[in-house]
Amino acid sequence: MQPPAERASPEGEDLVAPPRRMRPQAVNNWGRSHHCDPVIAPPLREFGVPEKDLILNPAELDMDRVLADMEEIRKYIPQRHEMEQISAVLYDDPEIGVIAGYKDLTDQEFWIRGHMPGMPLLPGVLICEAAAQLCTFQVQKHGSMDVNMMGFGGLDKVRFRGIVRPGDRLLLVCKRLALRPRAMIRCAFQAFVGEALVGEGELVGVSIPVEAIHGLDSNKR
């Protein structure tokens, strides 16, 4: 699927960062610093994943053009501290419901000590969480659901196809499949390290009744 051309919002703000191929030097640096070992993270063809089935081709995303940094992301998602799983948003097209962003994994991640000692591997559930946070950013930024808070409603067709380690940049690409305002949203997601697909699936987001939860807390006091 080829992303649409760049366009501007009525206020003049760019909504879409047009993908382009990374400069050769950027690709080389990525490969060296983020452990893109072909044995650990095989290319798409080894999994039988045709390029036409990609939501966006990671090779065509401009990794240097950030649409939203963590300060901007925090305006739209409630997670903080260890549970912040998105470092930047690179591409955002609310009309077709496609968004891309990444999480830079450091040697300070909270899961390193226990998952697993001496061989730290990103838990697959956090790949799903990162995809959910990326979808939430788009939904809340553009008011697609018209709700105060989003939460997980379910996961489907999830497959993990490679491992992710500290030092990797985990790229997430999501696409809206179905939307019922104030009720639910279903999105497909794909996760990459470099250009290698390491995970994919579908997730469901639902409205969280914030007022009802606060009411339950008040009743306990």
Catalytic residues: 115
CA distance 117 to 67: 36
Q: Measuring CA to CA, which residue among 122, 123, 129 is closest to residue 155?
A: 129
* Torsion 61-89-170-204 (CA) sign: negative
CA distance 70 to 51: 30
Residue 173's Cβ-count burial label (10 Å; 0-12, 13-18, 19+) is buried
Q: Measuring CA to CA, which residue among 64, 99, 58 is closest to residue 194?
A: 58
DSSP result, 139-191: HHHHTSS--S-EEEEEEEEEEE-S---TT-EEEEEEEEEEEETTTEEEEEEEE
Q: Measuring CA to CA, which residue among 169, 165, 199 is closest to residue 26?
A: 169
CA distance 124 to 129: 9
Q: Measuring CA to CA, which residue among 186, 184, 168, 161 is closest to residue 176?
A: 186
